[in-house]
Structures are given as structure tokens and as C-alpha cells.
Structure 1
Amino acid sequence: MYKATVNVTLRKSILDPKGKAAQHALTDLGLTNIDNVRIGKLIELDIDADDKDEAFDIAETACSKLLANEVMEDFEIEIHEN
């Protein structure tokens, strides 16, 4: 059994209104040394696979088909043994 951790973020070329709002709120809180806030999502998957490579392929397929919009988002996958 493997655990996939998937980090999905908007591509750099896509505006991030949630990130911009968070950055303004942080500035209002006095945290003026923080710049370029981007908001993403973290997804964890438990995957039953024979090896790490198979688990990665399954996670990548899940991201490509459903979990990430590849037109607007990038994703990074880390595989860990459970």
C-alpha cells in the first residue's frame, strides 16, 4: 500500500485571486515582507499497487483525468510507503 501526496497549484501564468486576497490580508496584519501568495490544494490518495512506479502512474492518471485541470493547474506527486 502506498500513499500519494499531490500538490496542485495554479500555473504561474494564471491569476490567483484567492492568493491576492490572502496577500492583502497578510499585509493588513502587518506582514509586509510576504509577497506573491499562491493558494493551491493538497490531495492524499491511498493506492494499492505492487510498486512505487505503479502507484505513481495511478496517481498521475487520477490527476490528469480528474483531480487537476491541466489547462490551468500544475501538479506534483510524491509517493510514500504506508
Structure 2
Amino acid sequence: MISRSRSIGSGDSTTSASPEGTEIARQIVGALLNHRTRMFFVTHMFEFANGFAEDDSRGVAFLRAERREDGSRTYKLIEGKPLRTSFGEDPE
């Protein structure tokens, strides 16, 4: 891993409720960004991710799994703003 880089994960198995988890994650990631730390963060917390997406001055890039119009997967990552849905189910 590159010096000053971090990989952080967050998901549904956290013990904090969503609003508290979002605030905790926001403060931790905000502090790391203020120290110019490069990191990857994987999350299902829309409010957390969207908060950074709305703050364009932070130099944050967002990647998500590409989905076609019919909902099928391409198994590719694309750049794009966070989505409110997690695509928990695949189309039949």
C-alpha cells in the first residue's frame, strides 16, 4: 500500500445505529482528509457518502458498481455520485 494510504470498511454489521455511525465515520474520514491521507472507504451509508459528494472541495472520487438500465451487472466500477439504493437484489 502507498505510504499515507489507508483502507477503511464500513457496512451493515457495525454496532452503531446509522445516524451515529454516519457521524463517527464523517469525523474520522474528515480528520484523515485534513491530514492529506489518501484512503479507500467502502460503505453502504448513503448519508455519509453523499455528504462528501456534496462537498466538492475535498477532492473525493466515488466509484460504484455499474448497473445497466435493466438492472443487470457489468462487474465494472464506474465513477459516479453515491446512490440511495444498495441493489440488494438482482433482477430476475
TM (norm. structure 1) is 0.29
With CA pairs under 8 Å and 6+ residues apart, which has the higher RCO, 1 or 2? 1
TM (norm. structure 2) is 0.27
Structure 1 or 2: larger strand share?
1
